[in-house]
A and B are shown apart, each in its own frame.
Chain A
Amino acid sequence: MTTPTSHPDYEVVIGLEVHAQLRTRSKLFSPAPVSYGEEPNHSVHPVCLALPGVLPVLNREAVKLAIRAGLATHGEVRGHSVFARKNYFYPDLPKGYQISQFEEPVIEGGWLDVVVGEGKNAATKRVNLTRIHMEEDAGKSIHDAAIAGDATHVDLNRAGVPLLEIVSEPDMRSPAEAVAYLRTLRAVLRYIDVSDADMELGHFRCDANLSLRPHGASEYGTRTELKNLNSFRSVEAALEAEIERQADLLDDDEPVVQATMAYDPNSGRTRVLRLKENADDYRYFPDPDLVPLQISADEIEAVRAALPELADARCERFQREYDLSEYDARGLTVSRPLADFFETAAKVHGQAKPVANWILRDVLRALRDRDAEIEDTAITPEALANLVDAVESGKTTAKSARGLVPELVAEGGDPLVWIRERGLEAVSDTGVLEAAVDAVIAENAEDVERVRAGETKVLNFLMGQVMKRTGGKASPQVVRELLQARIQS
């Protein structure tokens, strides 16, 4: 099937530029630490302050992470790449230029396979990457009247923090595809420990290029660029709004003007920040303070050898090793911590399939409800394995166990203790159960006859009635055995 398109009259063309903060201890060209929540202008060094006479020295750890990202996205690592200066004036840009890569980036090409849609509607789409390059972040201007009055203060703690810029080809055809791509990209970067990719902390930021063209047209329409989209929701909303704006223009035979746009979440509309005629001339040129970056084949191989098993490979292995469907395997490998959680739980429990089901159905739902990731929660793989085991061995019922999952996710703890303390043990006292079974048989004589006549499905109805009488605490296996025994006798 084809992936969903979001506009009936026009084909939507989207390309994304993502900035991901690299997980290094020190900055890209200075020994200052990369820090969080430090006092303003404390994580700085003469290089970050652009004092007269300072020189940049490349952080090789950042290069390793860039190579990791390139290999994980099937890109080509260039043996020779060049750092360039991007010149512009801004108070939080201390040198008056940003060191970035321009003509010869560290990674060229590559692709990501992205699952768009859910369940039966899910389809895999390949998004090609143009390039991945390294650059340094700028500082931060603070226009807070409470701190600065009418003045603007500048905090250079972030100045020089290493970023990867990941540029896609204009391969996406709907906001949903764009968001799916972003989610996959973020998962990959986290999988390989290249970036925390925390959107709230600004570790994963996105600019989007968008254009429309009539279906079947071969030439692209005029594109606009949406800047600084900081959440999946804002990406989707901004793209939808911009599609509407451009479609309205095209419907009225008005031209789309090339421009840089911003999305205002309050109005739900996009607005022009600046037109192309006013675009900056960045005067890129190779930074003469930095020699070209040389990466040897040995270095690339060393990084490759140290890569963890990537999501795609792990997904295939899960299908093979644990006999899971592709859909289930993909669901379990969206993040490395989740896949690790599954493998540990499966090992503790001894059987993969039921553990996978419990994770995909109950644990993921509980995580979604809390807007949390598995690594940020209290549930342990052992606890989940024990819970599944408790259901299978009849210690508790599936229903009771399901009710416990959100609490285990939130607070952790030993499910066996929870079951005991809350009185959630399955009732397997045959005396109590026999009474309930007898009552149900007496009340549903007609259905009992149907079971005897071979309508085995009706047995499930009778079981449900027994469960009802026991408040859902009855052990299903025992009830089934008792019912069958009574009906056959």
Chain B
Amino acid sequence: MAAYTSLRALRAALESGDTTSVALVQASLERAETLEPQLRAFVWLRKEGALADAAASDARRAQGAVRGPLDGIPVALKDNLVKRGERTTCCSRILEGFVSPYDATAVERLEAAGAVVIGATNLDEFAMGSSTEQSCQGATRNPWDLERAPGGSSGGSAAVVAAGIVPLALGSDTGGSIRQPAALCGVVGIKPTYGRVSRWGLVAFASSLDQIGVFARSAEDAAFGLECLCGHDPRDSTSLPEPAPDLSGRLDGDVSGLVIGLPDEYFATEGADPAVLDAVRTAVGELEAAGAKVRPVSLPHTSYAVATYYLIATAEASSNLARYDGVRYGYRADQVESLTDLYFRSRSEGFGAEVKRRIVLGTYVLSAGYYEAYYKKAQQVRTLLRRDFEAAFEGCDLLATPTTPEVAFPIGAKTDDPLTMYLSDVYTVSANLAGVPGVSLPCGFAEGLPIGLQLLGPALDEATLLRAADAFQRRTDHHTATPPEFP
């Protein structure tokens, strides 16, 4: 895979006959297996099925019936997306043995575009976490430093793209779960507008915040991947009616006249690594040099975002995870004495610590007597945060911020202190609360570890985000750097 640096190059190689889908998929599978002992990024690999799909793609190509830029390209799924006939574990014991009888819309659309699913990647259990350590499969390693976490919860998908196993992987982003690991693994990760990509078949964590997105090596690759996922889906009531946008066709390298806002609050965060802030400022300077205009903006309610996020996300999670009760599928405790015992023991044994912590918190937040003080108040603050963004986007086309306060942290460094872990999301959660799109792209290094630049845009304007990210990447080479151990 490393021989081809972009989807554009891969497609050219497929078209010229320089390679075949079978060869690409074979190479991906082999690299995955070779690196797995170090990376621990995959939950399962789909060898026979993937090779059969690749052969079908080659046959289509031979007949001149190529489905598009993704035809024959190996991709990976985060293991909270269902694929018919395959296990979906969410890296939780509670889903032990579950095999989905249906496809997620995102998976269906990816496969309809010809992409070949080679496997499913590790995540924090039910996508709850910021390090991919909270997984019943064990922690995934950051390809840039195997002692460090890849971020989370889509750490597995970020790692497999960073390690050059696949050019494209799907993730889900509830509070930053695509952008934060993209930043820590030095790849591009985009979370589109809420409702852009159908959530049908995405195992719910927090329904009003969850959104599917992609990881790729470049903004252009991300555009190719994302545009095939978008568009209305009648199976998801929250799916937006807008048709899929043309994203890849609008990458012209031009940012002249684009107004970039720098939110004061994001550059004044206590505890943020000065090296990260410097790299982000330098990157913004690069865009300014290319013709963009930069101005300060204010998102005055930012300091409430993390608290608001954890109230809403846990409330929804406590309800969304009630279905895992040991009755219909998944894990069921042995030799229970009563119905209550069945629920208690199945859920106590099936869920991990972080998930239980959030269920308990969410149950509390929604309970009679506390609902008004917590959940309802959080919804009111959410409205204020959304208005912050609306006001900011009246004066600028996009916002530029750091994606994370610091570079990848050592595995185990934050697992005993959930509140510190929650602060990893300080720059990313607001976009989920407001429903706006965000992209993270590599913009430099500190201590040899990647730094992420986050661009946020108004609802439905993924095209401008990717255009700016692509323009930046045409002028810089941060995204072409590969982890030294996995060249």
Tell me the A residues contacting B by CB distance below 8 Å.
46, 49-58, 85, 87, 89, 91, 94-97, 154, 281, 283-285, 287-291
Residues of chain B lying within 8 A (CB to CB) of residue A58: 237
Do residues B367 and A52 form an inter-chain contact, with CB atoms below 8 A? no
Q: Nearest residue in A to B199 (C-beta to C-beta)?
A: A55
Known: A49-B328, A281-B368, A291-B237. A89 touches B82 (CB 8 A): no
Q: Nearest residue in A to B81 (C-beta to C-beta)?
A: A53
- For this complex, 7 residue pairs linking A to B, each with C-beta atoms less than 8 Å apart, are A49-B328, A51-B101, A52-B323, A54-B201, A87-B322, A283-B371, A288-B206
Do residues B100 and A51 form an inter-chain contact, with CB atoms below 8 A? yes
Known: A58-B237, A89-B325. A53 touches B366 (CB 8 A): no
Number of A-B contacts (CB under 8 A): 99
B residues 303-339 in Cβ contact with A at 8 Å: 315-316, 318-319, 321-323, 325, 327-329, 339
Q: Which label, helix, strand, loop or mixed, suits the secondary structure of the A interface?
A: loop
B residues 183-223 in Cβ contact with A at 8 Å: 199-204, 206-208
Residues of chain A lying within 8 A (CB to CB) of residue B201: 53-54
In whole angstroms, what is the CA distance A89 to B366 when docked? 15
Beyond the given A289-B237, A290-B237, please list 13 additional residue pairs across the A-B interface where CB-CB is below 8 A.
A46-B101, A51-B100, A51-B101, A51-B102, A53-B80, A53-B199, A53-B204, A57-B235, A87-B322, A96-B321, A96-B325, A283-B319, A288-B316
Q: Confirm or deny: B257 has a beta carbon within 8 angstroms of a beta carbon on chain A.
A: no
In whole angstroms, what is the CA distance A57 to B234 when docked? 8
Residues of chain B lying within 8 A (CB to CB) of residue A52: 82, 88, 90, 95, 98, 100, 203, 323
Most buried by B among A46, A58, A289: A289
Residues of chain A lying within 8 A (CB to CB) of residue B234: 57
**Residue from A57, A97, A281 in contact with B319 in the complex, judged by beta carbons closer than 8 Å:** A97
Over the window 221-248 of chain B, the binary record of Cβ atoms lying under 8 Å from chain A Cβ atoms (1 yes, 0 no) is: 0000000000000111110000000000
In whole angstroms, what is the CA distance A50 to B238 when docked? 18
**Residue from A53, A94, A281 in contact with B82 in the complex, judged by beta carbons closer than 8 Å:** A53
Nearest 8 CB-CB pairings of A with B: A96-B322, A288-B208, A288-B207, A283-B366, A53-B201, A50-B323, A52-B203, A281-B368
Residues of chain A lying within 8 A (CB to CB) of residue B199: 53, 55
**Residue from B100, B200, B319 in contact with A96 in the complex, judged by beta carbons closer than 8 Å:** B319
Q: Confirm or deny: B375 has a beta carbon within 8 angstroms of a beta carbon on chain A.
A: yes
B residues 83-100 in Cβ contact with A at 8 Å: 88, 90, 95, 98, 100
Q: Confirm or deny: B267 has a beta carbon within 8 angstroms of a beta carbon on chain A.
A: no
B residues 240-286 in Cβ contact with A at 8 Å: none
Most buried by A among B98, B206, B237, B339: B237
**Residue from B101, B104, B322 in contact with A95 in the complex, judged by beta carbons closer than 8 Å:** B322
Do residues B371 and A285 form an inter-chain contact, with CB atoms below 8 A? yes
Known: A54-B200, A281-B368. A289 touches B238 (CB 8 A): yes
Question: Chain A nearest CB: distance from B115 CB in Å?
Answer: 19
Do residues B323 and A53 form an inter-chain contact, with CB atoms below 8 A? no
**Residue from A53, A55, A283, A288 in contact with B100 in the complex, judged by beta carbons closer than 8 Å:** A53
Indicate the size class of the contact surface on chain B.
35 or more
Question: Chain A nearest CB: distance from B330 CB in Å?
Answer: 8
Known: A52-B100, A53-B104, A56-B237. A94 touches B202 (CB 8 A): no
Q: Nearest residue in B to A154 (C-beta to C-beta)?
A: B327
In whole angstroms, what is the CA distance A94 to B330 when docked? 13
Residues of chain B lying within 8 A (CB to CB) of residue A85: 319
Do residues B366 and A285 form an inter-chain contact, with CB atoms below 8 A? yes
**Residue from B237, B322, B371 in contact with A89 in the complex, judged by beta carbons closer than 8 Å:** B322
B residues 369-394 in Cβ contact with A at 8 Å: 371, 375
Residues of chain A lying within 8 A (CB to CB) of residue B368: 281, 283
Q: Confirm or deny: B422 has a beta carbon within 8 angstroms of a beta carbon on chain A.
A: no
B residues 110-169 in Cβ contact with A at 8 Å: none
Question: Chain A nearest CB: distance from B354 CB in Å?
Answer: 18
In whole angstroms, what is the CA distance A54 to B206 when docked? 13
Residues of chain A lying within 8 A (CB to CB) of residue B101: 46, 51
Do residues B100 and A94 form an inter-chain contact, with CB atoms below 8 A? no
Question: Chain B nearest CB: distance from A61 CB in Å?
Answer: 15
